[in-house]
Amino acid sequence: MHEKSVELLNKAIADELTAVHQYMYFHFHCDDQGYDLLATLFKRTAIQEMLHVELLAERILFLKNDVEMVTSSAVKKINNVEEMLKMATEMEQESAKDYNQWANECSANADSVSKKLFESLVLDEEGHFSQYDTELNNLKRFGDRYLALQSIERSKIRDTATIAVQ
């Protein structure tokens, strides 16, 4: 039932899983470098992509097929914050473009539920794009001061924690 939809839904799962891995990799490195705001943003987005996998998987099972839990590409070992944000904005733009197209393909194959699912994912991916794009613009506008501020915020939290313990 709906072979074309199942193929597209599985392709989407591979892209979402790739995003989960990539964003968690970025999360680890932002956390390690003391950039708390970005570390949290990458982790939160990774969790949202994982929830996308769940929605896509539920649809595949409803269509009496099975889920291919593979990624579409390996994690890129990028440790520079500006490069991370650039890559993340490109990934989100690509997802929004693909999902718009795949929504149309599902519609052409008389599968309106999968079409609606892809359309709702487009909305989320555009939201992710907007968040990453805002951070990228802040970084370009304020440069190192933007990154320094994130480290200072962490120091404040650490100080407070120490006082609280005493």
Name residue, tokens 């929004």.
Answer: 96
DSSP SS3 for 27: helix
Identify which of residues 90 and 159 has a Cβ nearer to Fe ion in the complex.
Answer: 90
Residue 49 or 98: the one with the smaller Cβ distance to Fe ion is: 49
What is the DSSP secondary structure assignment for residue 76, as one 8-state letter? P
Q: Do 67 and 57 touch, CB atoms closer than 8 A?
A: yes
Separation between Cα atoms, residue 109 and residue 104, nearest integer Å:
9
Is position 111 an interface residue for Fe ion (rule: CB under 5 A)? no
By CB under 5 A, name the one of 52, 85, 115, 117 that touches Fe ion: 52
Torsion of CA 85, 17, 118, 93, to 10 degrees: 20
Of 8-16, 28-36, 97-105, 109-117, the segment contacting Fe ion by CB under 5 A is: 8-16
Q: Which stretch binds Fe ion (CB under 5 A): 90-98, 109-117, 137-145, 152-160?
A: 90-98
Site size for Fe ion (CB under 5 A): 6
Rounded to the nearest 5 degrees, what angle is found at the Cα of 75, between the Cα atoms of 72 and 43? 105
Site string for Fe ion, 113-142 (x = CB under 5 A): ------------x--x--------------
Rounded Cα gap, residues 29 and 99, in angstroms: 29
Identity of the residue, 16 or 111, whose beta carbon is nearer to Fe ion in the bound complex = 16
- Rounded CA separation 166/161 (Å): 9
- As measured in angstroms, the least distance from the Cβ of 165 to Fe ion is 38
Shortest distance, position 3 Cβ to Fe ion, whole Å: 23
Report the nearest approach of Fe ion to the CB of residue 45 (Å). Answer: 6
Q: Interface with Fe ion by CB under 5 A: which residues?
A: 16, 49, 52, 92, 125, 128
